[in-house]
């Protein structure tokens, strides 16, 4: 929480207010199905809750950083935004048609990842969908920093990152029926790194 509060208080809307290429791709997939209610765990300062809300979905975001959440409330007045840790879900008794989770799962350690995925499964209606993106082993930072767990490195201080191989992501989501999984390249331009390209792994699957 402290790490993200610091990041959002210093640089505010770090990744800009436009949706990521990944979210635009997820929307394209979601449009093929009967999806109305979306849960966005780790919703940050709201660029993706806003994007899905503007596309006429009923959106709920959960965010651990109060500073991030307050920026989100200014950016996005349509979505329902809640403060809390995804590890303490559920925060209501709603069932969602889909869960969109952008780059949060890789920030959790092994037991937390399993718990979080279980909690997502329970908040999804039968035949509901998940779209998760995570750091892959093809990221430039893979293997850098102190090793904390298998394929998990503290490549930035106080921010362990788990890097997912294809086999690993399939194992994490083995309770779901996988529709597709692949690498998506996402360009970002922020901080000391300047313009750089991430190689995220995404998974789109059905309960």
Strands 96-102 and 124-135: parallel
- Per CB under 6 A, 102 contacts ligand SAM: yes
- Per CB under 6 A, 160 contacts ligand SAM: no
C-alpha span between 157 and 46 (Å, rounded): 25
Question: By CB neighbour count within 10 A (0-12 exposed, 13-18 middle, 19+ buried), where does 127 fall?
Answer: exposed
C-alpha span between 77 and 82 (Å, rounded): 13
- Per CB under 6 A, 47 contacts ligand SAM: yes
Nearer to ligand SAM, 111 or 127 (CB): 111
Which of 25, 35, 38, 44 binds ligand SAM (CB under 6 A)? It is: 44
Span interacting with ligand SAM, options 36-44, 146-154, 158-166, 197-205, rule CB under 6 A:
36-44
Nearer to ligand SAM, 68 or 128 (CB): 68
- Per CB under 6 A, 103 contacts ligand SAM: yes
Which of 27, 35, 39, 64 binds ligand SAM (CB under 6 A)? It is: 64
Which of 55, 70, 85, 181 binds ligand SAM (CB under 6 A)? It is: 85
Span interacting with ligand SAM, options 29-37, 85-93, 176-184, 187-195, rule CB under 6 A:
85-93
Which of 17, 24, 87, 114 binds ligand SAM (CB under 6 A)? It is: 87
Which of 86, 98, 134, 169 binds ligand SAM (CB under 6 A)? It is: 86
| Cis amide leading into 52 (omega within 30) | no
- Per CB under 6 A, 61 contacts ligand SAM: no
Considering the complex, what minimum distance in angstroms separates the CB of residue 49 from ligand SAM?
9
Binding site for ligand SAM (CB under 6 A): 4, 15, 42-44, 47-48, 62-65, 68, 85-87, 102-104, 107
């Amino acid at each position: 929480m402290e790490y993200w509060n610091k990041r959002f208080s210093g640089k505010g809307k770090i990744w800009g207010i436009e949706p990521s290429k990944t979210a635009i791709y997820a929307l394209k997939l979601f449009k093929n199905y009967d999806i109305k209610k979306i849960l966005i765990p780790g919703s940050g300062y709201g660029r993706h809750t806003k994007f899905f809300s503007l596309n006429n979905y009923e959106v709920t975001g959960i965010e651990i950083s109060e500073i991030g959440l307050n920026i989100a409330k200014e950016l996005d007045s349509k979505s329902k935004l809640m403060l809390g840790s995804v590890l303490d879900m559920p925060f209501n008794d709603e069932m969602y048609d889909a869960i969109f989770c952008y780059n949060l799962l890789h920030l959790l350690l092994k037991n937390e990842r399993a718990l979080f995925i279980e909690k997502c499964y329970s908040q999804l209606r039968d035949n509901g969908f998940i779209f998760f993106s995570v750091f892959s082993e093809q990221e430039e930072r893979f293997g850098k920093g102190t090793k904390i767990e298998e394929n998990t490195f503290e490549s930035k201080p106080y921010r362990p990152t788990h890097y997912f191989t294809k086999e690993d992501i399939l194992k994490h989501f083995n309770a779901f029926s996988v529709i597709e999984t692949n690498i998506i390249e996402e360009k970002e331009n922020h901080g000391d790194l300047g313009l750089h390209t991430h190689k995220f792994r995404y998974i789109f699957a059905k309960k």
